[in-house]
Amino acid sequence: MPLNNGKHIVEPIDGVRCSLVESGASEERVRFLKELLELNHYEVKVAPDGEGTYKIGVTDMLFNPVIDVYKRRLRSPSGHKVTPAYWLQLSTAETEAEVSYWLW
């Protein structure tokens, strides 16, 4: 799910209702997100979505990736807050920075 779409989607995966994290994900993306979400104590479900793509969901019905990434609720394996760049796997140089985009 791109971070510019805040729509909360609920779909059954393996017979369990899940908050959809991403659909159309590659195997590499599934590994990255599954490791990150399990590190943050979410139960992750993965199912085939098409030819070579997968959909990823978590059993926590309140999880919304857009909200959790921008509110900095997730932690990376190194213990830093997950930034949008880290979530999207854009650049490792930018990803670990503790940058606040706004003041509380």
The model's pLDDT over 52-82, given as tens digits with 9 standing for 90+, comes to 999 999 999 999 999 999 899 999 998 889 8
Q: What is the CATH number of domain 10-74?
A: 3.30.70
**Separation between Cα atoms, residue 21 and residue 38, nearest integer Å:** 13
Q: Is the pLDDT of residue 97 over 90?
A: no
The pLDDT value given to residue 94:
47
pTM over 0.95: no
pLDDT in tens, 20-52: 999 999 999 999 999 999 999 999 999 999 899
What does the pLDDT read at residue 90? 85
Q: What is the 3-state secondary structure (H, E, C) of 30-74?
A: HHHHHHHHHHCCCCEEEEEEECCEEEEEECCCCCCHHHHHHCCCC
Cα–Cα distances in Å, from 13 out to 19, 41, 49? 9, 18, 10
| Cβ neighbours for 71, distance < 8 A, ≥ 6 positions apart | none
pLDDT band at 3 (very low <50, low <70, confident <90, very high): confident
* DSSP bridge pairs for 25: 54
